[in-house]
Structure 1
């Protein structure tokens, strides 16, 4: 397909990368990026690039990746609860300053022959182009005013992005208790001698701390666009003094938000196609807008090169990318719900909590994690089973005895007669989940069943965990025998006490 002129709305990572790849693939095509902001001005701090994304960038554009890796900072990962710390080796992950990421992408776009226009707001309908790539972000005007079937779900928790002026040794996940409740940081170092500090909490803690008032003040008419919630920053600076080591928190339009998950029925219309956050978002605890947008750009340009017309190219692009995006959104949703209820798990030893963290979304099973962090997993298993693990891992987990409420069970599959609950929820922390928890409180124990698919099983394991933690009653979860690895992960993570495989169910 021969493109005469292509326009890209949005000068973020996805837009700039798509523009470069388009120009490299179509040297005769005029490619122009329209960014309403000024060059060099950006909100945010560091950006993480995982190993899988790096491999895809290496195949698509090794020159750009080489410079990004050179500008990045590699680091491991730690979980810290009080004075207890557990570390997992993961130096394939790099943190890059968002300003440097954009500068690299701008240079490489211009080197390829892309024209960059800043400081003017443009709309897709007003552009003279054969192809319009709408990479105009989570608040996409293109999506909101087009026939894309866009919708947005808003999370329950509150979070804010800030930074600090020194590089942490590792990525750090750390909860801190305050007089108002628990706050949790996800922090990581990035190039330039700084670190990103993302901090989140639940709605009730946020309100008790008075941050509903400071949020309203930071968003009041007349407040400078780039202003931060300084009251929250100073409070959090004291709360996370142990992690900050005397350094300050830095704001950059830092305000409390709820996470918005964007989905669209379709990603294209006419000659316009959505890319990145304009088409989809995934919770920051497992997804990365930068990763998704740059991988979108790769798939879009490949489809344009292989298809005979725009319609066929857009269909191929969506056919390739939508399954990957929806899978990640599903994982991210589970991770989001886990983090929104995180403080309830702080009774677990830190090694078991790390296992719970890694397995929270169902994509890092215990039998795989053990190869990454054998010492962590072995300690967690000994905490769970009372002795060092031996033999086949899943079988060993299922075979551990349990003492609960004065009753002793020879293994985790010996389930007594229990009150049966049927769970077909999407969110175990919903009002419907509240009803099931209240019902469980009236029993000596519950056996939770539901639809047979894996997603439904993972959800009822989350419900079982909520019931265990809030009521203390014995919990058992029913699932297909082929999901025994998921059941083992859940047992070690404290999500359930006992399990029933369907071939054993009455």
Structure 2
């Protein structure tokens, strides 16, 4: 369709990228970005872009990606638990300053002919446009005012974003124990002199440290920053933590029944969010922009274009949201796993959401997986040719009538229903638990997480039952410490 005028609400990565792509596709269309903040005012620190996302951006707009890469900072990934470190190579993963990313996108949008307007809040009713693209973020006022069927789920854990004035050698995941509980940082370099430090904890630790009474407003929480700076002094190498409207938050998962309403269409975080632990916010937003502009350019009217856009993007978004949900639950319960050797913990991290098969991880990081397998089996480090078969050998058992059977189906392995299951299991004082349930993959992954809780909190030996076609997931569960033994649903020979 030939568009006369398009208005974009929100001057973040999603809105700026969509505006540029649309102007390139339809040079005669008037495209205006409305951002209520000032041009040079932004919040946050670094943004990560994985190799897959970069390939999609290169296909859509190589000029913009070239400048993003030029300002980016490549790094690998490590996990550090009490000084024991496991390193994973992560080719082509880059961190880039959010300010640098926005500067690149602003320049390229204006170069294409987009008009950028800052410093004034606009709403849909103010705008004379054929299409209004709402890219106004997780707290989208446009979404809340429209008929999108939105729902927001708030996480249990708490986190805050801060930075430091030096570049880490690699991204690092590191827990630190304090007198109040455990804090975990997800930190990574994004410039030659800057790193992001995202720090999270559970509510009990947060309250014990007194953070429930610290500042909550527009300014940074200096009390928490001072405390965390001391807690992470080893990882900070003598540097201070830097705040930028840094305060404790709970992650909000946004889901919408519809991504469009009349002439308005949602983009990026306004339409959907996925937990930061899979680094997907900017990825999803910019990939949304590519799909939306393609649909607007090729379909005969806005309604048809919006339908095509949502049909193209929703499956990928929902898949990533499910991965993110599992990852979020894993990180919110992370301190319970720090007893594992760091290599086994890295395997648990990589397989936490079911997205990275154990054998594929072994190809890219044989040293880490080899060490983890050796720790699991009590043998020298190794990566056998038939990795899954080797892991399962001697750890597959038939049905045991003497086991206490756990057959309650839960959605959240750390939620209230799971708490009740664990409490009953603990009261039985059984020496052997058998966790059974539906044969689909999602149910098995959840069952493995519930089994991990039983191992840690109820004691005894835990057997997880699953179909033989999901033997790879069962093997990953064993190496990750989610189960002691496994059983196949069908009769064993």
User: What TM-score range do you get, normalising by the shorter chain?
Assistant: over 0.9
What secondary structure sits across from 1:504 in the alignment?
coil
- Is structure 2 residue 161 aligned with structure 1 residue 176? no
1: CA distance, partners of 2:346 / 2:384: 21
2 CA distance for matches of 1:497 and 1:385? 12
User: What is the SS of the residue equivalent to 1:413?
Assistant: coil
Give TM-score scaled by structure 2 length. 0.97
Which of 472, 475, 483 matches 1:485? 472
Kept in 2, the 8 Å contact 1:352–1:492? The answer is: yes
Kindly provide the CA deviation profile for residues 122-168 of structure 1, in whole angstroms up to 9, marking residues without a partner as x: 11122100011000111101110100000100000000000000000
- More displaced, 472-481 or 71-80? 472-481
2:255 match? 263
- Which residue of 349, 352, 357 corresponds with 2:349? 357
Which residue matches 2:390?
Answer: 396
More off after superposition, 459-468 vs 303-312: 303-312
Q: C-alpha displacement at 1:456, in angstroms?
A: 0.8
What's 1:324 paired with? 316
C-alpha separation between the residues in 1 aligned to 2:408 and 2:371? 33
User: What do the CA deviations read for 1:407-460 (whole angstroms, capped 9, x no partner)?
Assistant: xxxx33355331111132110111110111112211222111112211111001
* Distance in 2 (alpha carbons) for counterparts of 1:328 and 1:430: 21
Conserved? CA contact 1:447–1:477, under 8 Å: yes
Provide the secondary structure at the position in 2 that maps to 1:218: coil
The Cα offsets for residues 65-105 of structure 1, whole Å up to 9 and x where unpaired, read as 00000100000000000110111111311000000000000
SS at match of 1:296: helix
**Whole-angstrom CA distance in 2 between matches of 1:451 and 1:415:** 16
**Structural mapping, 1:25-104, within 5 Å:** 25-104=25-104
Change in 2 beyond 3 A, CA 1:349/1:311: same
Match of 2:424 among 439, 448, 453: 439
Q: Give the alignment partner of residue 450 of structure 2, picking from 463, 467, 472.
A: 463
Aligned counterparts of 1:192 and 1:65: Cα–Cα separation in 2? 19
Q: Which residue of 2 aligns with 1:429?
A: 414
Give the TM-score of the pair, scaled to structure 1.
0.95
Query: Which deviates more from structure 2 when the two are superposed, residues 37-46 or residues 431-440?
Result: 431-440
Aligned length: 488
| TM superposition shift of 1:365 | 1.0
Contact 2:51 2:91 in 1 (8 A): no
1:192–1:386: structure 2 CA closer, same or farther, 3 Å change rule?
closer
1:44·1:252 contact (CA, 8 Å) conserved in 2? yes
The answer (yes or no) to whether the contact 1:389–1:396 under 8 Å persists in 2 is no
- Corresponding residue for 1:222? none
2:220 corresponds in structure 1 to 228
Paired residue for 1:152? 152
- Computed over aligned residues only, the root mean square deviation of the Cα atoms, in angstroms, reads 1.2
Aligned to 1:312: 304
Give unmatched runs, 5+ long, in structure 2.
none
Structure 1 distance, partners of 2:455, 2:126, is: 57
Give the equivalent residue in structure 2 for 1:285: 277
1:495, 1:468 → 2: CA distance?
8
Structure 2: how far apart are the matches of 1:505 and 1:109? 62
Tell me, yes or no, if structure 1 residue 416 matches structure 2 residue 400. Answer: yes
Q: What is the CA distance between 1:25 and its match in structure 2?
A: 0.3
Cα distance in 2 for partners of 1:86, 1:27 equals: 50
- C-alpha deviations, 1:370-395, integer Å up to 9, x for none? 11100110010010012245341100
Q: What per-residue deviation string (whole Å, max 9, x for no partner) do you get for residues 177-203 of structure 1? A: 000000000000002510000000000
